[in-house]
Chain A
Amino acid sequence: MRRSDQYRFVVILAVLVILQFSLRTKLGDDRMAPDFLLVALLIYTIRAQPGKSAAAGFLVGLLRDALTPASFGAGALAHTLVGYLSAWSKAVFFAENLFVNGCLFFAGTWIRNLIVALAALVAGKLKADMVGWELLVWSPIQSLTTAVVGVLVLWLFGRHLAIRLGDA
């Protein structure tokens, strides 16, 4: 990847982080709005090695846990797993296709929410019926919106992210 592409890559990830803290609250219900931070993480994991992806996921999750101390550590664990699995599965299974990447965003978001919900359930901070609602109603919607945003970002800036699409 050229140096200019590296800068663009960083800028795009930074823009996604900024959107998470500026635009996201205006996109409706917090349980349905797209997770720009997770999009940034998953875009990073598309290119990075599993170990670095896990570390990035851990950092992202830890920062998120700082904003929701009630489930401290659960986000870090969830993002670590999602980051690692995303990078690993991307290398093993996925072709570089827009739809497949959309599925990756969807699955990543849903699995992240699943792990956080299960951790909260085990810790007794979430009731079982709420977990069902979370995983079957809210989480799929958020996964969908996140996948849409992720696909849009890849479609618009995939060239600058050194991610080739459409020739799977």
Chain B
Amino acid sequence: MARAASSTIRRNTATSSPRNVLPLGADRYASRGDTLLFLACVLLSAAAMSLPDRVRDPVARTLRQTVLAPLLALQQQSELLSASLTRYQGMVAERDSTALAATFLPELRNENTRLRALLGLGQRLGSGYVAAEVLHQSLPTDPLTLIVGAGRKQGVRPLAAVVSPEGLVGLVSAVDERTSVVVTWAHPEFRASAMAADGSVYGIVAAHGSDGPRGWLLELRGVPYRQLVPEGTLILTSGLGGVFGRGIPLGTVVTVVEKAEGWEQTYLLRPAVHPAAVSHVMILIGNRASLAEAFDTAAVKR
């Protein structure tokens, strides 16, 4: 070990200038001056430790206000910079959140409009309905049947009509305690007795199908061949059969189906309501014969 130390000293000596040369031999380890300096520092440290508070604090304060002042200022600036960066990141996050919320603004406006319309419908209906929220599922078949948040407890019964401010959504097929299953007009088994708004034409409305370019349309079947139904004619429920009350909008005539079936014509309807777009509905629980005055048919035609 002594040999290693000796070689170290030799190497240091070889690479240093005379002023900084570490002394060879015992002087390098600790000369008398080094020892005295060391002892003085130890004594001063011990003295500092034994200083009373009234002396110690002014000394520390003086050091902080003189030698350490620029370093403390540097640390303060560093902290400020760090805090600024944190605040900047927070602001960027808030801005992003606001921008994201703004993208949903049109959707919120639409929903607000729908809810206002629903309230208007509720006022016009007066009583005999249950408001319910549609519990959409993330399935491709979701628009065929809906789950709504009202059930037996709220007075919902099977075959009750389910409407929105724009028109008929479907009918209740099954009722649970607090939820119900609604078969929408898009379901292949849906049927409704229908008529033109002026009562000149009667027929049966059913889903046209959800495939192809004419998907999500309704059909008005059973119209006599000689009766022409102009494009844009509003089709309402007729009230026949006793399931749906009279006057609930179903849709407007778009065109006639090219393939004629015997003495009957089939017309395509643009539905008044698209089930996938409905967020709140009303389930009619009263036996009301006519509902025509409750719906804004002019709005449906538009």
Contact = CB atoms under 8 A, between A and B. Distances in A.
Q: Do A and B share a complex? A: yes
Interface of A: 1-2, 17-18, 20-23, 25-26, 47, 49-52, 54-55, 57-58, 61-63, 65-67, 69, 72-74, 76-77, 80-81, 84, 88, 91-96, 119, 123, 162, 164, 167-168
B33 interface: yes
21 contacts: A1-B17, A18-B74, A21-B72, A23-B78, A25-B75, A26-B82, A49-B28, A50-B38, A54-B38, A57-B41, A58-B44, A66-B59, A66-B60, A66-B61, A73-B50, A74-B49, A84-B38, A88-B30, A91-B28, A162-B15, A162-B20
A77 B42 contact: yes
Contacts of A61: 45
B100 interface: no
Contacts of B50: 73
A84 B67 CA distance: 23
B219 to A, nearest CB: 70
Main secondary structure of the interface of B (DSSP, over half): helix
Contacts of B67: 63
Nearest to B72: A21
Contacts of A84: 30, 34, 38, 41
Contacts of A1: 15-17, 20
Given A1-B16, A72-B49, A73-B48, A93 B1 contact: yes
Contacts, number: 138
B115 interface: no
Nearest to A115: B45
Given A77-B45, A77-B49, A67 B38 contact: no
Interface string B1-23: 10011001101000111001011
B28 A51 contact: no
Contacts of A23: 78
Given A17-B71, A51-B36, A54-B38, A65 B48 contact: yes
B37 interface: yes
A51 B33 contact: yes
A165 B36 CA distance: 31
A137 to B, nearest CB: 26
Contacts of A119: 49
Nearest to B64: A66
Among the interface residues A18, A49, A55, A94, which one has the most CB atoms of the partner chain B within 10 A? A49
Contacts of A66: 59-61, 63-64, 68
Given A52-B37, A73-B50, A164-B11, 7 more contacts: A22-B77, A57-B41, A63-B67, A67-B64, A73-B48, A77-B49, A88-B29
Contacts of A58: 41, 44-45
B227 interface: no
B202 to A, nearest CB: 80
A2 B82 CA distance: 39
A31 B42 CA distance: 26
Nearest to A54: B38
B30 A72 contact: no
